[in-house]
Structure 1
Amino acid sequence: MDRGRQVFLVRHGEADYERLSAFAPVYHGSRRDFAPLTDLGIRQAEGAAEQLRGDRPGVVVASPYARTLQTAALIAARLGCELRVEPALHDWLPIRDGASPVTGELVRQKIEEYETWQRSGILPPDRTWETDEEMANRVRGAVARHVASGPLIAVTHEAVIKSATGAAVVGLASVHRLTR
């Protein structure tokens, strides 16, 4: 990452998961990532854009999930920026191989493993998820691939922002500065 370059991480706005229930079971499990923003989520994204207006960003990059793409599109449109998709800004995954089925029970188990690791510092030998350091490195690599005139905005997810910034609280559509 360029030393003098400012990078802002923005969490997506509120997602409308209920809207997908009419399409059950098509949008269960990981397909919930296709959920658009709620009306409140749209207003949250617009508020984040206003907060960033004075920084005069050059590019907005987003995780490929619907909630982040819609948030990023709203920000980019409000600020007159180019919008790019960056797959490496994806959310924390309970299983990284992409081939194993992901159930609600499995997600709960992996979150419990992750939280146990955070408290104890002992990594399970058969873990399937990223550590905070691995997520932070992934984010830094992702933003480094996007050259922009002016600051860069990366729209991503709560766990990703927490890992990259050390923030304890990452509210919906909140803005965080990424430091080296």
Structure 2
Amino acid sequence: MEILFIRHSEPDYSMLDKATHPEAYTGFGRDLVPLTARGRTLAQQAAQSPLLDDVDTVISSSITRALQTATYLICNRQLDLLVEPFFHEWRPDLDGLNYTEVELGLAYRLFMENDGALVENSPVRYETGQAIKTRTLKALQKYKAYDKVAIVAHGMLIRQFVPMETIDYCQMIPYSIDLETIEIEDESYR
């Protein structure tokens, strides 16, 4: 299978700063924000890329910034948009403790310093790089019938397949994978 990984466009978190009850937008609540004006422009520009010309379908993370980006990508093309909840963002707080910005920063730093591994006695519990890759591969199994898909997702997810330190908003990264040779033990994500 050919995959065109596409990182979502630029999200607008500024509206959370103005929210009446900003505590309602912690954790996954932060994933409800739309794109910035610049983010919408970047997505519109990305939609013109010839890399999308031979894509069979676009599959998006269910998180708002990815969905809105994907909508721009299919706008002038005869492509279906499929939503895949398991292509979501990295989970820095596995226990749902509503980590503070300091704890979220610590989780990110530890993830990066330990190549995605969770070290023993870590003060924070986060989703490992291997867990991200496994959940993505499990979800990807149901799309095996497609020759080439575009996946609109998140930098942390994409980096588990493509070793890049930085992935820009709307950056497109071609990737090949043979799903027939991948063994996945846990069937719970299918």
TM-score range, shorter chain: 0.7 to 0.9
1:7-56 alpha-carbon deviations (Å, 9 max, x no partner): 11100111111133332424532212111011211121122222145532
Task: Give the CA RMSD over aligned residues.
Answer: 2.3
CA, structure 1 residues 90+122, in 2 after alignment: closer, same or farther (shift >3 Å)? Answer: closer
CA, structure 1 residues 155+102, in 2 after alignment: closer, same or farther (shift >3 Å)? Answer: same
Task: State how 1:74-89 maps to structure 2 within 5 Å.
Answer: 74-89=72-87
SS at 1:124 equivalent? coil
Q: Tell me if structure 2 keeps the 8 A contact 1:60–1:72.
A: yes
Task: State how 1:22-41 maps to structure 2 within 5 Å.
Answer: 22-26=18-22, 28-30=25-27, 31-41=29-39
User: Deviation above 4 Å: which 4+ runs of structure 1?
Assistant: 147-150
CA, structure 1 residues 20+135, in 2 after alignment: closer, same or farther (shift >3 Å)? Answer: same
1:91-120 alpha-carbon deviations (Å, 9 max, x no partner): 1111224x33232122122122213313xx
Name the TM-score, length of structure 2 as normaliser. Answer: 0.79
Identity %, equivalent residues: 24
Match of 1:167 among 160, 164, 167: 164
Q: Tell me if structure 1 keeps the 8 A contact 2:118–2:126.
A: no
Which residue is equivalent to 2:187?
Answer: none
SS at 2:89 equivalent? coil
Provide the rounded CA distance (Å) in 2 between the counterparts of 1:150 and 1:88: 20
Gaps of 5+ in 1: none
Q: Tell me if structure 1 keeps the 8 A contact 2:117–2:128.
A: no
Q: CA deviation at 1:126?
A: 4.5
The number of aligned residues is 173
Match of 2:173 among 162, 165, 176: 176
Q: CA deviation at 1:145?
A: 1.7
CA, structure 1 residues 55+150, in 2 after alignment: closer, same or farther (shift >3 Å)? Answer: farther
Q: Does 1:14 align with 2:14?
A: no
Task: State how 1:1-180 maps to structure 2 within 5 Å.
Answer: 5-26=1-22, 28-30=25-27, 31-52=29-50, 55-97=53-95, 99-118=96-115, 123-126=118-121, 128-147=125-144, 149-180=146-177
Provide the rounded CA distance (Å) in 2 between the counterparts of 1:6 and 1:116: 30
Provide the rounded CA distance (Å) in 2 between the counterparts of 1:147 and 1:138: 15
Q: Tell me if structure 2 keeps the 8 A contact 1:165–1:179.
A: no
Q: Which has the higher helix share?
A: 1
